[in-house]
Structure formats: structure tokens, C-alpha cells
Structure 1
Amino acid sequence: MDTGTHIAMGIAISGLAMADPVVASHSATMGPVFAGIMLGSLAPDTDTVLKLRNNAVYIRNHRGMTHSIPAVLLWPIIISIVLSLFVPEANFIHLWAWTFLAVFIHVFVDIFNSYGTQALRPFSQKWVALSVINTFDPIYFGLHVLAIASWVLGTPPVQTMAVLYGVIFLYYLLRFAVHAAVKRAVYNTIPAATEVYIAPTMRFFQWRIAASTETDHYVGRAYGRSVNIYDRFDRKPLPKSPYVEAAMTDRNIAAFVSFSPIYRWEISQVDVLTEVRLIDLRYRSKTFYPFVAVAHVDEDFNVVNSYTGWIFSEDKLRKKLNFIQES
């Protein structure tokens, strides 16, 4: 989920923590527990700083190790030890338990996005992405804001947050039901589909669709059970050539391939360079596909510049590549 939603979730969990008599009756524990919950709700996303290095590192590692099983176990211990240094009289076990819950819920809810997490590491490198809740879901966020506002206005925090999580549980069941209905509609529309990717949007009834058959890629949107196909592309394997082989060893191209399950390719000439471009089909925006990886290969089969990330115009892409080459 986005940072704002994780903060709202942390506040909601803090309200739920008042059910713990040790937290509710011991002020020296209550403050650190609330702090631990808020830090635990945000800690797994500290890997966002990897974006300062480059997009390839960020794409390969965001929601990776920091969302893994060892991290879920280590974050609460680290946070609890640090907070205990400031408030040594706080009950460490209760501080650790509520911080652990905050970290666990952060990682758990992230698997329901289309981006997903590597929550099963180190046992599996697979990305777990159930694609039923958008990274920012207005209904999900709005329910939290409503519950928090109700708490501020005087309703009992434990009962308020218990109702909140009961409603959210039902909301998830509804999203799974809608997701399944959309998937059936896609298979009815494209009977020969061998792969189907369905991703939520901020609108409840609208879903992004990318599907593949043995010979074609299809891209569209679903509005309820109505499926509209916008684009069709021939599904062809990457050609075997030294230019392509060189491009595929580039870190930006490799990061893109590790992340994107469905993409098409284009090969063209840019001055004296050969451009290899991979285009993710899951993120169509109007008529543009903004998530790409591009590598320019010279006549000696060296990658002279490359880029992966979100680009919404060719001009911006050219500027990025020219800047990389000049640097």
C-alpha cells in the first residue's frame, strides 16, 4: 500500500492495542507501543531509499528483503530494543508483540497489490501478488479515516477498530469475488488465453487487463464484467542476435525482465546505435505504455546507455538516455 495508507493503518492498530490491559493501564508502555506500531507500520518500506541509487536496483529489491520472513522477525526486535533504550520501564514483551503485529500487517496487506512482495524469502524468490487491491484504494483508506475520526470524536478505540477490521475483511472477500468474475469474463472474451493478468485500479469496478495466447498479446480494461480490448500485438520471441544478447545482460534490462511477466519488444536504429526496447503491457495509460526498459547497443555490441522505469513521453525518455550517456 502507499505510505499514507500504512500510516492510517498504524493509527488503527494503535487503537486496537488499547485492548491490551498492560498497554491501556501503563503509560510508560503505552507511548513506546504506539511509537513501535507506527515505526513497524512504515519500516518495511525503508528500501524506498534504493531509488536514490538507480531504478534497476530499486525494481529488483523494493518489497524484497525488507518484506521477507527474516525481516518480519527482525524489524520488531530492532525497533523494540531502540525504543526500550529511551523508555527502559516499558514492558518489552508487549512492546515487541504490538510492533510485530504492525510489521506483519504491513507485509501481509502488500501481497494483495499487483506489485506484490517477496514475502516468502528466503524459501522462495517468487513475487507474491494477488492483485485484488490497488496500491492506493480510496475505499480502504476512507474506511480507516472514518474509523480514526470516530475515535477522535469519542467512540471506544477497541470497538471502533474491531468494527473497522471486520468491514475490511468483508471488503477483501468482495474484491476477491469481483476479481474472479473479471477473470472469468476475460477467458470468455479470449478463450485461447494462456496467461491472464488482472490488476485493480482506484475505481472499484475498473480493472486493467493483459492477456496472452500462443500467438498474440491483448491489452484492455474491464468495467464490471464487460471486457474491452484496446490493443493486440503479435507474440514473438526475441530474435537471436548479438545486439539482443548484449542488451539482455544490461542491469536495467535484467531488472525489468525479473519484474515484468508480460511484455513485448521493439528493435530499431537510433543513429548508429541499435535500440532494444521492452514494454510492459500491464500498465497502459490512455494510448501509452509508460513502464519500459531500453538499451542502446553500439556496433561492437557494447551497451552505451540504458534505462528502466516510468516514462510518459518519448522526449523524456530521450533526455534520460542522453543524460546517462553524457554522465
Structure 2
Amino acid sequence: MDTGTHVVMGIALGAVATAVDPAIVGSSAAIGIMTATIIGSQIPDIDTVLKLKNNADYIRNHRGITHSLPGLAIWPLLLSVILYLIFPAAPFWHLLLWTFVAVCLHIFVDIFNAYGTQAIRPFKDTWVAFGFINTFDIFIFASHVVAIIIWLLGAPATTTFFTLYAILAVYYVARYITQRVITHAVKNLIPDSEEVIVASTIRFFQWRVAVTTKDHYYVGRAFKRNISIYEKFDRLPVPDNDIIHAAMKDKNLAAFVSFSKVYNWRIEEKMDGTYVTFTDLRYRSNGHYPFVAVVKLDDDLQIISSYTGWIFSDEKLHKKLHPVTN
């Protein structure tokens, strides 16, 4: 989920903790526990700082080890030790408990996004991604904000937030069922489909659709139960040649391939070099596919420059591949 949603989830959890934990209720430890749940609900996303380094490391590692089983042990213990030094009135084991719950909640809700997490690492490096909740879901965020306001106005925390959680449980089930219905409709529309990806968007009734068959990729959208296929691409194997071998040595392209599930490729010979472009087909937006990896090679197949990330214009891509140097 996005940062704002994790913040309101942390506040909600903190309100519940300070209302139900007998060691905290009515004590000065409440502020320490609330701090623990808010920070605990954020800490797995500390790997976002990798963006400051480069997109390749960010793509390879975001929601990886920080959102894994080891993370469930490391973050609560680390945060509890630090917070206990700041808030000694808060019992350490209760800080540890509620920080652990906050970290669990963060990792748990992230698996429902299309991006997913490596939640079962180190047993498997598989990305767990169900895709039926958007990274920012207005209903989830707004319902938390409303519940927090009601609580701040004097409503009991337990009644307020347990009601919220019950509503959200029904919402998650409804979104899952909707995704399954659309997936079934897509399979009926394209009977030879091998893999169907149906992922939520920020708009409640709209879903992204990407389909893989033996020979083709299909890209479209679903609005409620209506499926629209916008484009069809030949599914061509990546060639086993010197150009591709040289491009694959680049960390940006390697990161892209490790992350993307449905992509096409092209090789273009231009005056200033050879361009190898991989395009993720899952994120079509206004007829454009913004998530790409591009490697520029010279005549000797040495890497000149490269980029992976979100590109919405040729001008921006040109700047990424041809940075201005002094």
C-alpha cells in the first residue's frame, strides 16, 4: 500500500492497542505504543531509499527482504529496543508485541497488490502478489480516516475500529470475488490462455488485463464484467544473439527481467548506437506502456547507457539515456 494508507493503519492499530491492552489502558505508555504502531506500520518500506541509488536496485529489492519472514523478527525487535529507550514507561514486551503486529499488518496488506512481496522468503524467493487491491485504494484509506475522526470525537476505539475491520474484510472478499469473475470471463474470451493477470486500478470498476497464450500476448481492460482487448502482440522468444547477451549484462535490464512477467522486446539500429528495449505489457496507460528497460550499445556491443523505470515521453527517455555532462 502507499505511505498514507500505512500511516492511517498504524494510527488505527495504535488506538486499538491503547484500548485493549490492560498494561497500557489509561497509562503514560500509550504514546509509546502509538508511536510503535505508526513506525512499525512504515518500517518495512525503508527499502524505498534504494530509489536514491538507482532504479535497478530498487526494483530488485523493494518489498524483498524487508517484507519477508526475517523482517518480521528483525524490525519489531530493533524498533522495540529503540523505542523503549525513548519511552521507558511503555513495557518492553508490549512494545515488542504491538510493533510486531504493525509490521505483520504492513506485510500482510501489501501481498494483495499487483507488486506483492517476498513474504515467504527465505523459504522461497517467490513474489506473493494477488493483485485485487490497488497500491492506493481510496475506500481503504478514506474508511480509515473516517474511523479515526469518529474515534477522536469520542467514540470507543474497540467498537469503531473493529467495525472498520469487519467492513474491510467484506470489501477484500468482494474485490477477490470480482477479480475471479473477471478472470473467468477472460478465459472464456481467450480459451487458449496460459496465464491471465487481472490487476486492480485506482478506479473501483476498472481492472488491467494481460493474457499470455502460446503464441501471443493480449492487453486490455475490464470494466465491471465487460472485457475489452486493446492490443495483441506476437509472443516472440528473446533471441540468443550477441546483442542480447551484451544487453543482459546491464543491471537495469537484468532487474527489469527479474520483475516483469509479461513483456515484449525490440532491437533498433540507430545512428548513435543499438537500442535494446524491453516493455512491460501489464501497465498500459492511455495507449502507452510506460514501464520499460532500455540499453544503448556501441558498435562493439559495449554498454553506453541504460535505464529502467517509468517513462511517459520520448523526451524523458532521451534525457535518461543521454545525461548532460559538464
- Give TM class, smaller chain: over 0.9
SS at match of 1:179: helix
- Deviation of 1:88 after TM superposition, in Å, equals 2.3
Distance 1:307 1:4 in 2: 28
Match of 2:261 in 1: 261
- Deviation of 1:317 after TM superposition, in Å, equals 0.3
Match of 1:80 in 2: 80
Match of 2:241 in 1: 241
5 Å-filtered alignment, 1:1-327, equals 1-17=1-17, 18-27=19-28, 29-323=29-323, 326=325
Distance 1:184 1:86 in 2: 53
Q: Which moved more, 1:99-108 or 1:14-23?
A: 14-23
Distance 2:313 2:199 in 1: 23
Q: Considering only aligned residues, what root-mean-square deviation do their CA atoms show, in Å? A: 1.1
Which residue identity is paired with 1:97? L
The TM-score normalised by the length of structure 2 is 0.98
Distance 1:127 1:318 in 2: 32
SS at match of 1:136: coil
Task: Flag the 1:109–1:25 CA change in 2: closer, same or farther, 3 A.
Answer: same
SS at match of 1:315: helix
The question of whether the paired residues in 1 share the 8 Å contact of 2:116 and 2:128 is answered with yes
Name stretches of at least 5 consecutive residues in structure 2 with no aligned partner. none
Distance 1:79 1:153 in 2: 30
SS at match of 2:304: strand
SS at match of 2:323: helix
- Deviation of 1:86 after TM superposition, in Å, equals 1.9
Distance 1:58 1:81 in 2: 28
Distance 1:301 1:310 in 2: 25
- Deviation of 1:315 after TM superposition, in Å, equals 1.2
The TM-score normalised by the length of structure 1 is 0.97
Distance 2:240 2:79 in 1: 51
Equivalent pairs: percent with the same residue? 51
The question of whether the paired residues in 1 share the 8 Å contact of 2:278 and 2:292 is answered with yes
- Deviation of 1:293 after TM superposition, in Å, equals 0.2
SS at match of 1:51: helix
Which residue identity is paired with 1:154? G
Which residue identity is paired with 2:20? A
- Deviation of 1:149 after TM superposition, in Å, equals 1.1
- For 1:67-117, what per-residue CA distance to the aligned partner results, in whole angstroms no more than 9, with x for missing partners? 111111111111111111122232111111011100100000000000001
Distance 1:89 1:111 in 2: 35
Q: Would you say how many aligned residue pairs link Structure 1 and Structure 2? A: 325
Q: Structure 1 stretches (4+) deviating beyond 6 angstroms?
A: none
- Deviation of 1:250 after TM superposition, in Å, equals 0.9
- Deviation of 1:272 after TM superposition, in Å, equals 4.0
Distance 1:42 1:87 in 2: 19
